[in-house]
Structure 1
Amino acid sequence: MAGRAAVPEVIWARPERAGRGPRPAYTRADIAAASVRIADAEGLDAVTMRRVAAELGCGTMSLYNYVPRKEDLHELMMDAVSGEHELWEPSGDWRADMLRVAHQTRALMHRHPWLPRLMSPVHGFSPNALRYLEHCLACLDPFDAPYGTKMELVAMVNGVVTTYVGNELATVERTRSLPWSEEQENAVRIAYLGRQLASGAYPRLAASFTEDAGPIDMEAVFERALQRVLDGFA
């Protein structure tokens, strides 16, 4: 296909610098840090080759000498933030350790709200991501199961976190764009919902809201979701 290299390349398989010649002006860490700064401040769509080059203070064409494709920028960004994971000595309690992994990942995604958009197996095998996965498997050493099952568990936990944080971030973004207060919005929606439930057309929904009419504790919902995933593997 036009515009594609004849042979696919993984950026991590290429040496960062040639054995000879002058030292490059920028390292991959420099490029990753610049890209992450832009994404954190302006969103993922703002991360372009031109914008990153400007952040570094070099020409756009010069940046291509370091990073041939925008996808490589994403690889560098994912690896950089994966390096923020704390890799502690496993406690011996695999459930407690996986809960800790989940909470740490949630905090990481809130620090970098663009992160869920890039979460995919494509970016899952960078150096820091590999160290993170190895750490997760070390935490699961006491869990008597094949490695395939352990990898599924890690994927399920990450899936719950990604979905939950995605909803949190979407709510924050929507609230930010409202022309009125969140309280006003909620009051109108609750009033509408109340009328619909009182109509008798949704008896099961009405019963569910009657059963638990208090405010939803989203932290408790998050904990229950994680516990149920772990229960399913125990």
Structure 2
Amino acid sequence: MRARFTVDEIAQCALNIVERDGVGALTMRAVASQLKTGPMTLYNYVSGREGLEDLVVGAIIESLVLPETTDDWRTDLRETATALWEVLRAHPNVIPLILMRRAVSLSAFAPAEQMIAALSRSHLSERDVLAAFRAILALVTGSAQAEFAGLFAGTSEHDEANAAGAARVGELARDQYPHIAKLAKVSDRSTAAADFQRGLAIFLQGLVAVEERPGANRALKPTRRGTRS
């Protein structure tokens, strides 16, 4: 006898709820309602809310096509970061869930493993690899989150919405905040994808500089007064 639901069907239903209403709307009752069953039925498939969260994270990560590795760690890091950014950009409401579950959901480890593997093939120290991994993860997730504009996220219409938003910011900032106003004009001529790739290129150039001059990356230690030496 066929099971009433498959895990994939439950995962897709949970993902639909998160994408439509946000992470806060994901409950056993909400998923059961969408599947036209009772909440207790779902416990035959998942352990509870955390189980639903894992299914959603898994569904997103499984849609991520990781690039083939090359003999250039910088290329591998850039391509993996870009692939992750593109997936997150397509599923804006899921980002908070991925960030919350990344430490306990094994399905979220694959892109992280590939980025760390790329960094580990450089000549960076172990501490620099850790700092670089955290920084590039922040760049990917932060860039994706900052881009969202309702239903237009990840589309050409969204770039148009961003341009309109930049124009409004420039107009508001024009008299009191000239630097913001000036940068808003630059933003008006750019796209989210172009900005991300440029920022990623700058980040990679910085890593290469540290790799070539490891002694120059000595961590600054805070003093008792909170200043840095």
- Specify whether residues 183 and 86 from structure 1 end up closer, same or farther in structure 2 by C-alpha distance, changes over 3 A only: closer
Q: What residue is the counterpart of 2:186 in the other structure?
A: 215
Q: How large is the RMSD of aligned CA atoms in angstroms?
A: 3.4
Q: What residue is the counterpart of 1:194 in the other structure?
A: 174
Alignment length (residue pairs)? 198
- Specify whether residues 88 and 190 from structure 1 end up closer, same or farther in structure 2 by C-alpha distance, changes over 3 A only: closer
Q: Give the fraction of aligned pairs with identical amino acids, expressed as a percent.
A: 26
Is the helix fraction higher in 1 or 2?
A: 2
Residues 109 and 115 of structure 1 are in contact (CA less than 8 Å); yes or no, is this contact kept in structure 2? yes
Q: What residue is the counterpart of 1:110 in the other structure?
A: 89
Q: What residue is the counterpart of 2:64 in the other structure?
A: 85
Which amino acid letter does the alignment assign opposite residue 190 of structure 1? G
SS state at 2:15 partner: helix
Q: Which one is further off, 215-224 or 30-39?
A: 215-224
User: Aligned equivalents of 2:14 and 2:100: distance in 1?
Assistant: 20
- Specify whether residues 151 and 128 from structure 1 end up closer, same or farther in structure 2 by C-alpha distance, changes over 3 A only: farther
Would you say 1:168 and 2:139 are equivalent positions?
Answer: no
Correspondences of 1:63-82 after superposition (within 5 Å): 63-82=42-61
Query: Shift of residue 146 of structure 1?
Result: 4.8
Residues 66 and 111 of structure 2 are in contact (CA less than 8 Å); yes or no, is this contact kept in structure 1? yes
User: Aligned equivalents of 2:80 and 2:31: distance in 1?
Assistant: 31
Structure 2, gaps ≥5 residues long: 154-160, 209-229
User: Aligned equivalents of 2:58 and 2:81: distance in 1?
Assistant: 18
> How far does the alpha carbon of each residue in 1:87-109 deviate from its partner, in whole angstroms, 9 at most, with x for none?
33211211122121222112111
> How far does the alpha carbon of each residue in 1:11-35 deviate from its partner, in whole angstroms, 9 at most, with x for none?
xxxxxxxxxxx98544443322221
User: Aligned equivalents of 2:125 and 2:100: distance in 1?
Assistant: 20
> How far does the alpha carbon of each residue in 1:30-51 deviate from its partner, in whole angstroms, 9 at most, with x for none?
3222211222334333322112
Which amino acid letter does the alignment assign opposite residue 129 of structure 2? K
TM-score, structure 2 normalization: 0.69
Q: What residue is the counterpart of 1:229 in the other structure?
A: 203
Query: Shift of residue 164 of structure 1?
Result: 1.3
Would you say 1:142 and 2:121 are equivalent positions?
Answer: yes
Q: What residue is the counterpart of 1:39 in the other structure?
A: 18
- Of structures 1 and 2, the larger Rg is shown by 1
| 2:33 paired residue among 48, 54, 58 | 54
